[in-house]
Amino acid sequence: MSDRYEAQQIEAKWQQKWDAAGIDAARDDDDRESYYCLVMFPYPSGNLHMGHVRNYCLGDAVARYKRMRGFNVLHPIGWDAFGLPAENAAIKHHRPPAEWTYSNIDQMRSQLKRLGLSYDWSREIATCRPEYYRWEQWMFTRLMEKGLAYQAEAEVNWCDPCHTVLANEQVVDGVCWRCDTPVIKKNLKQWFIRITDYAEELLADLDKLTGWPEKVVGMQRNWIGKSSGAEVSFGIEGSDETLDIFTTRPDTLMGVTYMAVAAAHPLAQKAAENNPELAVFLDECSRISTKEADVETMEKKGMATGFHAIHPISGELVPVWVANFVLMGYGTGAVMSVPAHDERDFDFARKYGLRIQQVIKPADGDWDIESAAFTEAGILINSAQFDGLASADAKQAIIEWLSENDKGSERVQYRLRDWLVSRQRYWGSPIPVIHCQDCGEVAVPDDQLPVILPTHLQPTGGASPLNECDEFRHTTCPKCGKAAERELDTFDTFMESSWYMNRYTSARNEQAMVDAEAMNRWAAVDQYIGGVEHAVLHLLYARFYHKLMRDAGLFTSEQGGDEPFKNLLTQGMVLKDGTKMSKSKGNTVDPKAIIENFGADTARLFTLFAAPPEKELEWNDAGVEGGFRFLKRVWRLLERLDLCEGEDEAAAVKQVRRTIHATIQRVTHAFEHGFAFNVAIAALMELANALQDYKPAGTSGKAAYREGVEALATMLAPFVPHFACELAERLGMAEIAVVAGWPEVDEAALVQDEITLAVQIQGKRRGEIIIAKDAGQDEALAAAQADDSINKWLDGMQIVKVILVPGRLLNVVVKPQ
């Protein structure tokens, strides 16, 4: 056995041992309390990057700590294996996507194993396997039965020469990425899932997510975008049709002086028919970006349509304008405009000389409506029978009036749209639907699931090869038995990643999507860790899907919870030279090189030490070496175990034991509150430094030293498990470090007889005194006065006030005598 720290050897040895001992498996037959630690599963791109390494080292530290704490830990991993990159790679390499995907998985699996991550590999999943996606097909047919899945026309990016739909990222500057042809918008029938039916619950349950970063909760809240108000029907002069709008300020209804509609609104389109100038304007509007960056600087423009709307209460006629800032995609594509009480309407009215009618005034005082809009709540004026009401009451009264007169109603509006799950792509789960001439859209019955995706097809970049695959396409209708065709679209890959956390609880289950008992044991996820880029879409869909599974009766609220993730940690990005690592910038760092040079433990240590988990991590090669040096320093502590010349020194022993137990306290705190591993590792470094400086003299000195090194080895295990195990073995510890119990704090060791107290005069630090730990204020003051360097500040002064903060400081407030 070498006496040097040989990372490669040690890591190979322990990985083998752990594997043989099966210590990483989560047990389904166990009384211990369970803990579910989940990291966001990777897309099998072929190579692990630093972001993965960081994510998985964080998760592994948590999982290992919990195991050492005696929990039965579920720490699974798998592959989010469907998606576009596989198709692109398939085109490039002329190999089917399945082949590429599976070989990438093999490669990345071995990279993960090389890092020594403690996954339960028996639960590994790959979403592209029929055993997995059959269950989301099954779920989809349940949703069809419930009316929660439906078909509707939706706009897609279409490339005519390629005869295919393009994802947004395949549209580069408005042209197709492959053939440079301008992309056109086309309406296709697509499948949707009614996430909007769950908008209210998804919003309300955000309050339960106390273990989530507020930032993410806020982002989801904005995304759902609830606003309450009223829907109001305006008449259209000379027409039987109505112009319906949504407003959050029904109290300002009497102040409407014009209406504004989107360019795509039917009324605008109709007006343009015999108004060429307007037609040009509409065309212009249709081409502007709706992205916020452009919008910020965009000039607000409008044009009158010539139509007039009839005010539902006063019957007054107001002009209908087209405005470039009204969006067809939100609400009804039309708004009422109240320039007196809305800034944007105010600016618009000013620009085009439209009337401004004040109908609200501040509760106290007046408002100069000529100079600015009054957007606060207030008291109604110029509003006929509603005069004198406060805004809140007026909202109610006006909604009531509208309801009674059939001109509108109370209404809640969400920004959230239904989830479009159809993708006109090959490498995804088939949508389990059969199109029959007579029966329409028929769900594939359970006994015919899964609908297996043929894996031998070769994508070309044009239409999905499923279109050409006759044996897939042609089938018979499950209802009437006549010839029919399969749905050729596949699911959005968010469909797979929305429920994988629950599948892990019974990953090999062939009877059901999940097992209620297993959910009861493991769900919900105690700690979920991943990138903040998933703050909205993935995390929202997963929350939604969890509720769908619950409502499909797969588990109850008690068994699986209403929310899938109790605690969420969003880790920061890994940067190099201040920017995100990316191949195109050429600033990537290959984890493989670090592992080869220094070992997996050094790679793990550095990623955890260099920054707090939620912050960005600036990669620093020199810092990596620093981590390696630390491990070598700890290693050398072994050489001094038997050094025991000289006599026992009680004070020194007490001192070192205090450091040991204070460190246990600090490191434990990091695991229990917020995962500040950078600080925990710093504390371990301090302990190592203290042990290095300590001379283990005599029996008790030697024992204290050993206690320290053992505690250090044990606490290092979640971070650098191979190293810790080897150290523990060489120390002759009974259990290998990764399953050893977490060290307990010996409170007695923390107690000090004498403490150092900082002394302040007027709040400025002037010195320190050593004093009995339970000394009172008078004693402390006396000690301070006995110290010349402190007392010189008190000389000739009158003591006004003395503040003693026990264990910390003494502050003396004085004034000249």
Partner RNA sequence: GCCGGGAUGGUGGAACUGGUAGACACAAGGGACUUAAAAUCCCUCGGCAGCAAUGCUGUACGGGUUCGACUCCCGUUCCCGGUACCA
Binding residue positions: 583
Question: Which stretch in 19-27, 65-73, 135-143, 529-537 sits in contact with RNA by CB under 7 A?
Answer: 529-537
Q: What are phi and psi of 452, to 5 degrees?
A: -85, 130
Name the segment binding RNA (CB under 7 A); options: 94-102, 114-122, 140-148, 807-815: 807-815
Which of 395, 373, 369, 389 has the alpha carbon at shortest distance from 252?
395
Please identify which residue in 102, 140, 234, 246 interacts with RNA, judged by CB under 7 A: 246
Q: Are 231 and 246 in contact (CB under 8 A)?
A: yes
Pick 316 or 441: Cβ nearer RNA: 316
Measured between alpha carbons, how far is 802 from 793 in angstroms, rounded to an integer?
14
C-alpha closest to that of 244 among 226, 229, 255: 229
Task: Report if residue 611 touches RNA, rule: CB under 7 A.
Answer: yes
Q: How far is the CB of 95 from RNA (least distance, A)?
A: 34
CA distance 799 to 785: 11
- Residue 620 lies near RNA (rule: CB under 7 A): yes
DSSP state of 430: B
Site string for RNA, 422-461 (x = CB under 7 A): ----------------------------------------
Choose the binding region for RNA from 125-133, 401-409, 505-513, 799-807 (rule: CB under 7 A).
Answer: 799-807
Of 232 and 518, the one with the shorter C-beta distance to RNA is 232
Residues in contact with 14: Cβ distance below 8 Å, sequence separation at least 6, in sequence order: 116, 721, 722, 725, 726, 736
- The one-character DSSP state at 665 is H
When binding is defined by CB under 7 A, the residue of 15, 111, 527, 760 that contacts RNA is: 760
* Short-list 431, 425, 427, CA closest to 444: 431
Closest to 455 (Cα-Cα) out of 81, 162, 163, 170: 81
**Which of 128-136, 269-277, 336-344, 381-389 is the region at the interface with RNA (rule: CB under 7 A)?**
336-344
Contact characters 692-711, RNA, x per CB under 7 A: xx------------------
Cα 524 from Cα 504, distance rounded (Å): 11
Q: Is 803 in the site for RNA (CB under 7 A)?
A: yes
Binder of RNA out of 222, 396, 448, 582 (CB under 7 A) = 222
For residue 633, state whether it binds RNA (rule: CB under 7 A).
yes
**Alpha-carbon span 624 to 636, nearest angstrom:** 19
Contact status: 73 vs RNA (CB under 7 A): no
Rounded CA-CA distance 588/619 in Å is 10
Residue 599's contacts (CB-CB under 8 Å, 6 or more residues apart) are: 7, 8, 10, 11, 628, 722, 723
Which stretch in 20-28, 473-481, 688-696, 697-705 sits in contact with RNA by CB under 7 A? 688-696
> Can residue 675 be called a binding residue for RNA (CB under 7 A)?
no
Rounded Cα gap, residues 502 and 401, in angstroms = 49
Distances in Å between the Cα of 499 and the Cα atoms of 373, 524, 542, 562 are 48, 12, 6, 13
Give, as one character, the DSSP assignment of residue 444: P
> Under the criterion CB under 7 A, does residue 335 sit at the interface with RNA?
yes
Among 242-250, 360-368, 449-457, 711-719, the segment contacting RNA (CB under 7 A) = 242-250
Whichever of 582 and 620 has its CB closer to RNA, that residue is 620
For position 629 contacting RNA by CB under 7 A, the verdict is: yes
Cα distances (Å, whole numbers) of residue 177 to 98, 125, 582, 763: 23, 32, 20, 67
Instruction: Rule CB under 7 A: say whether 677 interacts with RNA.
Output: no
- Is residue 789 part of the contact set for RNA (CB under 7 A)? yes
Out of 290, 409, 437, 476, the residue judged to bind RNA by CB under 7 A: 290
Q: Which of 437, 556, 752, 762 binds RNA (CB under 7 A)?
A: 762
Give the nearer residue to RNA in terms of CB position, either 163 or 215. 215
482 part of the interface to RNA, by CB under 7 A: no
Q: Least distance (Å) from RNA to the CB of residue 358?
A: 17
Please identify, among the stretches 87-95, 310-318, 673-681, 729-737, the one whose residues bind RNA according to the rule CB under 7 A. 673-681
- The mark string for 118-147 relative to RNA (x by CB under 7 A, - otherwise) is ------------------------------
User: CA separation (Å) from 422 to 153, 470, 610?
Assistant: 11, 20, 42
